[in-house]
Structure 1
């Protein structure tokens, strides 16, 4: 069971303890920043899917009967040309290896929902990163004051001896 976080005055911590807190906050901000980048990349992919699904089909007066030409991925780096047999039906990856056939309107709604969901997650994560960054700045400021105070105390001690 998780216990509530205790509030500790930074002034009561030693420079070594403050350094440990600073290191932990640095690691947390770094991990959150990586997560932010991954969420933004996922959102970009969903926006691209939405753009592709929302693109109107090519003219049916074309020589290929209006079948939209696409690149079909065989691997991450190997594609072959293909044509859509039915431009109103697409296969959508709904996650964890499951694919569902949807019409383009339903697929667009699915991707719009994903984009909105990721936008909310990104905003929430931005707030957390901002909060952690502010905490990090406060810890750095207190640590700097402690180090300066220790330096001044050590400089004054030899002069008195």
Structure 2
């Protein structure tokens, strides 16, 4: 048996091979989507860690007044100069930027990393559950296919 979307149980043995194939296909798609989401969350977490690293290494008193490249987009940089080592502009999402102290910016990014970590753990549990359901469906489908391929031969011998 595998658990359904609403917490119910489905007797996999009562489903036809075609229905089991459809369930398997749906579970495959869900696992793929969730795995992609997992990768995206990990990527976002990595970006926040890079922001902390940039603050630690790039916004220092030793870089004040020296020429540097300022990122406008991931692939477009313009020459600039760091004038304030105590404050940074932080992208808080959906195109909104806020000026924060470097300490507050690091706290903000650490909070985001922690929040994403919790979401990643929850998602891991969901992916593991779906993967286990997928294995059960695959096993039942395999048994049904084997039984149907051996069924007519076994029946002919018994007659």
State the TM bucket, normalised to the shorter chain. Answer: 0.7 to 0.9
Higher percent of residues as strand: 2
C-alpha deviation, 1:72, in angstroms: 1.4
Structure 1 residue aligned with 2:72: 74
Specify the alignment match of 1:63 in structure 2: none
Distance 1:109 1:69, change over 3 A: farther
Matches within 5 A, 1:12-161: 12-55=14-57, 57-59=60-62, 66-67=64-65, 69-157=67-155
Bigger drift between 34-43 and 147-156 goes to 147-156
1:40-95 C-alpha deviation (Å, 9 max, x unpaired): 100000000011112361438xxxxx335432123442212211110111000000
Q: Which moved more, 1:100-109 or 1:49-58?
A: 49-58
Give runs of ≥4 in structure 1 deviating > 3 Å: 156-161
The two structures, once aligned, show a CA RMSD in angstroms of 2.0
Name the TM-score, length of structure 2 as normaliser. Answer: 0.88
User: Mind listing any 5+ residue stretches in structure 2 that lack a counterpart?
Assistant: none
Q: Could you tell me how far apart the structure 2 residues matched to 1:68 and 1:139 are?
A: 62
Deviates more, 1:149-158 or 1:100-109: 149-158
- The alignment of Structure 1 onto Structure 2 pairs a total of residues equal to 154
SS at match of 1:85: coil
Q: Distance in 1 between matches of 2:139 and 2:66?
A: 60
Contact 2:61 2:85 in 1 (8 A): no
Q: 1:77 to 1:4 in 2, by over 3 A?
A: closer
Asked if the contact 1:67–1:87 (Cα under 8 Å) also holds between the matched residues in 2, the reply is no
Structure 1 unaligned spans of 5+: 61-65
Structure 2 CA distance, aligned partners of 1:121 and 1:67?
Answer: 40
